[in-house]
Structure 1
Amino acid sequence: MSAITTHVLDTALGRPARGVPVRLSRTAPDQAVLAEAQTDDDGRIADLGPDEAPPGTYELRFDVAAYAEATGQACFFPEVTIAFAVTDERHHHVPLLLSPFAYSTYRGS
């Protein structure tokens, strides 16, 4: 199982956001793209990146513009980038709640 996972919920449409392109990178101490994938029918990417994530700063980049175009929605934020710190060996789940003019995130379980 991936050490880092995500899912995207489209709060404007009230459903999972299917087909959102996502890129996982490690930004510190080095710059490295670890994985790229798209959310599934449930808005999730369960197998994103490595089975282990050493301590450091990571980044998830969500291509919101591609999703908005595919769903015919307006898009104020063409991409959302979430930087987060991995400090231990626990699983890290980083959800994104998305609408055409806002987004939010939190540390999931």
Structure 2
Amino acid sequence: MSVSTHVLDAVLGRPAAGIFVRLYADQELIAEGVTDHDGRCRLTEDATALGTHRLVFATGRWFAEQDREAFWPEVVLTFSIAEPAEHHHVPLLLSPFAYSTYRGS
């Protein structure tokens, strides 16, 4: 399975570059990265186990670096892997007081 994400700043209408992201399988940290200039981060291309995974976005730090107030110190997206061979793209649409996500392609 490969896992990637794309973070968009919904208020400014542009990519959210520089957000630190961690990927966990259950409690084990399996990858980490930072969103690039386009707000994208490919966390792994390696196979991983079936089951529950989490993406943890350090959103509080990112907003603070921009001197913007935010309600979310971090955003945690928990998802289930049923097909390890498939690519899993998990976008995050972010604003200081709300967020949304979906399974991308």
Q: Tell me the residue number matched to 1:72.
A: 67
**TM norm structure 2:** 0.94
Residues in 1 aligned to 2:53 and 2:86: alpha-carbon distance in whole angstroms = 14
Aligned mate of 2:35, from 34, 39, 58: 39
Written as runs of structure 1 = structure 2, the 5 A alignment for 1:1-109 is 3-27=2-26, 31-46=27-42, 48-88=43-83, 89-109=85-105
The number of residue pairs the alignment matches comes to: 104
Residues in 2 aligned to 1:53 and 1:8: alpha-carbon distance in whole angstroms = 23
- Listed as ranges, the gaps of 5+ residues in structure 2 are none
RMSD: 1.1
Instruction: Give, in angstroms, the shift of residue 54 of structure 1.
Output: 2.2
8 A contact 1:34–1:50 mirrored in 2: no
Instruction: Give, in angstroms, the shift of residue 63 of structure 1.
Output: 0.4
- Listed as ranges, the gaps of 5+ residues in structure 1 are none
* Aligned residue type for 1:84: F
User: What whole-Å deviation, never above 9, does each CA across 1:47-76 have from its counterpart, x for those lacking one?
Assistant: x13421221110000000111012221110
User: What whole-Å deviation, never above 9, does each CA across 1:5-63 have from its counterpart, x for those lacking one?
Assistant: 00100001110000000000001xxx2100111100000002x1342122111000000
